[in-house]
């Protein structure tokens, strides 16, 4: 039995509808209202072809679990024992130059190698002749499949100073980082099938070095996430004739519920299917398959929107916000000249673990490892909280006050303002005729989050 039921919190605003199929209790999303905050529900991730369980009612659950060590520790500008600092000798004996901008080098302890040493001369000969995915088992046993993995791993330092992370860099310095990403991508793309740019920030994410840096791994195969996204985006393109993420961006711009920042070239949003508490995506607004296709203007506007997001992150708990992030785009062009990758859309994903304070993180355990991923805080609420954050970094604004926990009030009093407001009926408004502001000049509102607790 299928029926439609108009639901309205205020007759002066749009009427919202939900459609419920009673026999299996599924909900077709048209536009969320606060009614969804009362129900556990599953959200579909079309990129990974997986479902995410959202349990907003669990926010009333008290927290008595693990608290992490405060991550906003003071970092020295230069550490003569840090192997990523300028002029320091690394573990392999090589001396870093006295670099003044970015600095990129081969990983001293790579997970992938271009060539290998072995007592099996025949195997070595084939491997070193650049034969990809050499199979050790010629019989291709379906239960014991094994391919040799080849690749190249690079490390890229963002800045010569260890205490200057991306949100504290100038826009021009971030543009330099983006330029270096593209330079490295182009160098590696001529030899390898996949180039993965990624950053782990913070000890809580397993980052062993506080110096601002990322890694770039290139491989002769498509990793799991890339293979899945290639399949799902291709399937969508074949069915609808347009890239999935371009359609998704257009719909999110109309809805506005999950947008964090928006400019002429890029959108930052909490994806509808997010599973990390403050997970975000940065997606270009035109069709771009690979990071190397960015124009100069798009690189500059990307630097702007990246800096805005990372300042919001840091201001949320007044801490250097930890995360893992990375870029996904179509497989490298030069090795796939005859393949059509029109279904791909470039995008960056940020996966921060912090949940309700600088010391409480979300754990991926139990049900999430054995069944499917789950979250409590809805994507809409998470986007609301981030929009409320000022666009002046707390370290650069002495009179900006913010709580270090979401248990109380989050205030952005003075110093640049927030990024918009959410009215009592839950709708986004800022006096800009529906546009999401990105200049940090909008009036900052007081945001109260009551009884915010851990997801697990």
Alpha helices in 84-215 (DSSP H): 121-128, 171-189
Give the pair of three-digit tokens for residue 142. Answer: 């379906």
Residue whose pair of structure tokens reads 């205030």 in the numeric block: 411
> What contacts 153, CB < 8 A, 6 or more positions away?
106, 107, 110, 111, 112, 215, 216, 217, 218
Cα separation values, 246 from 71, 334, 382, 383, 407, Å: 36, 24, 22, 20, 36
Query: What gap in Å lies between CA 209 and CA 412, rounded to an integer?
Result: 31
Give the pair of three-digit tokens for residue 272. Answer: 């509808």
The CA dihedral of 170, 173, 177, 182, to the nearest 10 degrees, is 110
Neighbours of 231 (CB within 10 A): 12
DSSP letter assigned to residue 396:
G
Query: What gap in Å lies between CA 399 and CA 216, rounded to an integer?
Result: 39
Contact between residue 318 and residue 72 where contact means Cβ atoms under 8 Å apart: yes
Residue whose pair of structure tokens reads 């409590």 in the numeric block: 376
- The residues facing 269 across adjacent strands are 259, 281
**Nearest by Cα to 403 from 414, 416, 394, 415:** 394
Query: What gap in Å lies between CA 101 and CA 225, rounded to an integer?
Result: 32
User: What does R_g of the chain's alpha carbons equal in angstroms?
Assistant: 23
Give the pair of three-digit tokens for residue 122. Answer: 């025949």
**Nearest by Cα to 354 from 75, 67, 74, 73:** 67
- Ramachandran category for residue 186: left, alpha or beta (phi over 0 → left; psi -120 to 50 → alpha): alpha
Active site residue 213: yes
The span from the first CA to the last CA of the chain, in angstroms, equals 36
Contact between residue 205 and residue 324 where contact means Cβ atoms under 8 Å apart: yes
Cα separation values, 8 from 5, 17, 41, Å: 10, 8, 20
Distance of alpha carbon 161 from the chain centroid: 24
- From 41, 159, 211, 213, the catalytic residue: 213
**Nearest by Cα to 200 from 76, 115, 87, 326:** 326
- The catalytic residues are 213
């Amino acid at each position: 039995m299928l029926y439609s039921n108009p639901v309205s919190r205020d007759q002066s605003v749009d009427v919202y509808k939900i459609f419920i199929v009673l026999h299996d209790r599924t909900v077709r999303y048209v536009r969320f209202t606060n009614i969804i905050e009362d129900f556990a529900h599953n959200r579909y991730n079309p990129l990974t072809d997986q479902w995410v369980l959202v349990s907003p009612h669990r926010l009333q659950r008290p927290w008595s679990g693990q608290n992490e060590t405060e991550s906003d520790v003071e970092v020295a500008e230069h550490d003569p024992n840090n192997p990523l600092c300028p002029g320091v000798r690394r573990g392999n004996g090589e001396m870093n130059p006295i670099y003044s901008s970015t600095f990129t080098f081969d990983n001293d302890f790579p997970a992938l190698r271009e060539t290998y040493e072995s007592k099996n001369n025949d195997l070595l000969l084939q491997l070193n002749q650049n034969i990809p995915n050499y199979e050790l088992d010629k019989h291709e046993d379906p239960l014991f499949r094994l391919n040799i993995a080849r690749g190249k791993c690079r490390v890229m330092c963002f800045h010569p100073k260890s205490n200057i992370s991306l949100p504290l860099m100038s826009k021009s310095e971030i543009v330099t980082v983006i330029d270096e990403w593209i330079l490295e991508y182009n160098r590696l793309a001529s030899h390898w099938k996949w180039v993965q740019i990624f950053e782990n920030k913070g000890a809580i994410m397993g980052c062993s070095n506080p110096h601002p840096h990322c890694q770039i791994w290139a491989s002769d195969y498509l990793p799991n996430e890339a293979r899945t996204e290639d399949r799902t985006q291709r399937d969508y393109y074949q069915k609808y004739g347009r890239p999935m993420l371009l359609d998704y961006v257009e719909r999110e711009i109309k809805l506005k519920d999950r947008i964090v920042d928006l400019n002429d070239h890029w959108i930052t949003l909490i994806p509808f299917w997010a599973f990390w508490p403050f997970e975000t995506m940065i997606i270009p607004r035109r069709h771009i398959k690979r990071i190397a296709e960015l124009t100069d203007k798009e690189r500059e506007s990307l630097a702007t929107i990246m800096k805005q997001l990372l300042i919001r992150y840091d201001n949320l708990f007044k801490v250097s916000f930890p995360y893992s992030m990375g870029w996904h785009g179509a497989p490298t062009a030069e090795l796939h000249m005859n393949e059509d990758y029109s279904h791909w859309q470039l995008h960056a994903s940020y996966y921060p673990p912090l949940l309700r304070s600088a010391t409480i993180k979300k754990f991926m355990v139990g049900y999430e490892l054995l069944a499917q991923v789950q979250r409590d805080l809805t994507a809409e609420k998470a986007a609301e909280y981030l929009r409320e954050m000022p666009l002046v970094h707390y370290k650069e604004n002495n009179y900006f006050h913010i709580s270090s926990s979401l248990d109380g009030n989050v205030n952005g009093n003075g110093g640049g303002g927030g990024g918009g407001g959410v009215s009592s009926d839950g709708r986004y408004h800022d006096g800009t005729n529906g546009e999401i502001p990105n200049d940090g000049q909008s009036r900052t509102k007081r945001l109260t989050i009551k009884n915010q607790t851990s997801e697990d």
